[in-house]
Structure 1
Amino acid sequence: MTGPAGVILAGGLATRMGGGDKCLLPLGGAPMLEGIIARLQPQVSALALNANGDAARFARFGLPVVADSVEGFAGPLAGVLAGLDWAAEQGIESIVTAAGDTPFFPQDLVARFLVATEGMEHPLALAATPDGRQPTFGLWPVALRHDLRAALEGGLRKVVMWTDTHGGRVAEFDGAGDPFFNINTPENLAKAEASL
């Protein structure tokens, strides 16, 4: 069995940043997405980007771009489903998701998910810090994609409601700083730039 594939979730509307693609904002002299790819790619067997609209704007990154199949910006779960459908086409059994606006996530993210889900028939887990679960960082089994599609079509939007239904576990992350610090505002971007 190959290891999980990676899917970077960048399908949001970025309303607090004035719209557009947060992952393309400059951080450390390069698009934030470049650093996220560099951090996730060594941990996974393949990598895709979940984004909506014209995929050509991401061509320079050389990743497959998968769009939400559920209408109306249904949130992170729609991106997870798009990633699961793409992984199924590749014959991959699971994906790990990372947010496209969270540049400092752990470099042992996938390894910790695999430890947390040992023995599960359908490995499913979310990252968690002492502040709570991080719903855009998870390990998701392709085997549950049809169940997820049905839940989304039924109106479900809360990640933890779906993962709890399936006995999802948590992978605990703590230590210095906030490994899941995400960039939602211009002030957050300035803070991230200062911490580089």
Structure 2
Amino acid sequence: MPTEGPAEGPTEAPAVGVVLAGGLARRMGGGDKTMRTIAGRPILDLIVERLRPQCDALILNANGDPTRFAGFGLPVIADSVADFPGPLAGVLAALDWTAENLPGNDWVVSVAGDCPFLPRDLVARLQQARREEGAELAVAASNERTHPVIGLWDVRLRHALRQALVEEEIRKIDRWTARYRVAAVSWPTDPIDPFFNVNTVDDWDEAERAAASVLN
């Protein structure tokens, strides 16, 4: 995007990226939103292109048959908490996967599976804000509002998150993150909000119109 800096490679603090695609996409008639196309390409393909260079590893959180994503070459991890409790379950699954498979990585960056225009400096700026503000977590923002699903998570908080999900039945991200110091990082929204998410058919049409000037 013209408002972004150059593409960023892995940051000083290793981070694993997770695309959260565990939702039911009811407003889009069901199915996998990540597999719907924009400019002839699946949304997931656009996300991977932007996020993979910023992370040490990239995984996909999705429920159901993982083979439907085989063409993307990503590890697919399902929620470890039953009954689709929301994006926090996907974050927990990613934290657990990272602790088990990449124990030297203390950070996970989560993104929504319906955001095709993610900034190429997402991870670097979240990490920088966390360090500078002495925060425990970081979250993306634009247009004067935060996007709780797009954030930086400390792997060491996975046990606390599991307790909140299972024992306290917390589902809203903001309710859980309010317990910690959170740095918010804002991005410009010209020519389009980089965290624009495709939730409805109208959103899909808007994304198609914007794609020519945003994608490269």
TM-score by length of 2: 0.87
The residue aligned with 1:79 is 90
Given residue 21 of structure 1, which amino acid in structure 2 is its aligned partner? D
The residue aligned with 1:152 is 165
Given residue 179 of structure 2, which amino acid in structure 1 is its aligned partner? T
For the residue of structure 2 that corresponds to 1:128, the secondary structure is: strand
For the residue of structure 2 that corresponds to 1:84, the secondary structure is: helix
Given residue 173 of structure 1, which amino acid in structure 2 is its aligned partner? W
Matched, 1:59 2:48: no
Kindly state the Cα deviation for residue 190 of structure 1 after the two structures are TM-superposed.
1.2
Kindly state the Cα deviation for residue 174 of structure 1 after the two structures are TM-superposed.
2.3
Higher mean C-alpha deviation, range 116-125 or range 54-63: 116-125
Pairing partner for 1:178 from 193, 203, 212: 193
Matched, 1:166 2:180: yes
Q: Distance in 1 between matches of 2:55 and 2:76?
A: 16
Kindly state the Cα deviation for residue 121 of structure 1 after the two structures are TM-superposed.
7.1
Q: Distance in 2 between matches of 1:188 and 1:24?
A: 15
Matched, 1:99 2:99: no
Q: Distance in 1 between matches of 2:132 and 2:142?
A: 23
5+ residue gaps, structure 1: none
5+ residue gaps, structure 2: 1-11, 212-216
For the residue of structure 2 that corresponds to 1:20, the secondary structure is: coil
CA RMSD in angstroms comes to 1.5
The answer to whether the Cα contact below 8 Å between 1:122 and 1:143 also exists between their aligned partners in 2 is no
Matched, 1:68 2:79: yes
Matched, 1:12 2:23: yes
Q: Distance in 1 between matches of 2:37 and 2:186?
A: 30
For the residue of structure 2 that corresponds to 1:127, the secondary structure is: strand
Change (3 A) 1:65 1:122: farther
TM-score by length of 1: 0.95
Task: Tell me the number of residue pairs that the alignment of Structure 1 and Structure 2 aligns.
Answer: 196
For the residue of structure 2 that corresponds to 1:117, the secondary structure is: helix
For the residue of structure 2 that corresponds to 1:78, the secondary structure is: helix
Kindly state the Cα deviation for residue 163 of structure 1 after the two structures are TM-superposed.
1.1
Q: Distance in 1 between matches of 2:37 and 2:142?
A: 27
Q: Give runs of ≥4 in structure 1 deviating > 4 Å.
A: 119-122
The residue aligned with 1:22 is 33
The residue aligned with 2:145 is 132
1:17-69 CA distance string (max 9 Å, x none): 01000000011112110110000000000000000000000011010001101
Kindly state the Cα deviation for residue 194 of structure 1 after the two structures are TM-superposed.
1.1
Given residue 182 of structure 2, which amino acid in structure 1 is its aligned partner? G
